[in-house]
Amino acid sequence: MDFVVARLGVGLQITPTAASGTPKEEVLMDDPLDSFLRSIEGLDLPEMVQALKRRGDEAEKKQRLLRSKRPRTLKRRRETDFLASRRETESATVDRIGRILFFMRNGTPADGTTEKDWAWCQFVANKLRSKGQW
């Protein structure tokens, strides 16, 4: 059985493939929020919370802007599906950041926290503990 090695940002995932010669390494696209979270892992707690709040505010602004666009013209009507997708993405970003900030403030996971976000929160909490900031 052959495998494809997929780089998921932090680790590697090995998945079986169709019949091919050697295992291949495949780079997968990450969610932009995941990239942002990896970029702030090394910050101190106050800076990390500030960066998360700023990113959440930006996502809320984008969400409001996308909500205000109405399909008035034929071109806009065609864009409606795209705008709806963007609104959902920004809404999910706002929700994820809210759950992560809840953990940063309370030390417990918020309702609806995904396993991936919970793992990131625990990882960051351990880093902050080693710095004496948690």
Spatial CA neighbour of 67 closest among 42, 89, 38, 45: 89
Q: How deeply is 77 buried, as exposed, middle or buried, from its count of CB atoms within 10 A (0-12, 13-18, 19+)? A: exposed
**Which of helix, strand or coil describes residue 19?**
coil
As a whole number, mean pLDDT of residues 40-69 equals 91
11 vs 80 pLDDT, higher one: 80
Where are any strands of DSSP class E within the chain?
2-7, 12-17, 24-27
Q: Please give the pLDDT value at position 1.
A: 38
**What order do you get walking across the sheet with 2-7 strand by strand?**
12-17, 2-7, 24-27
pTM of the model: 0.70
What is the band of 87 on the pLDDT scale with cuts at 50, 70, 90? confident
* Distance, CA of 117 to CA of 107 (rounded, Å): 13
* Distance, CA of 90 to CA of 33 (rounded, Å): 10
Written as one letter, the residue type at 131 is K
pLDDT of 70 strictly over 80: no
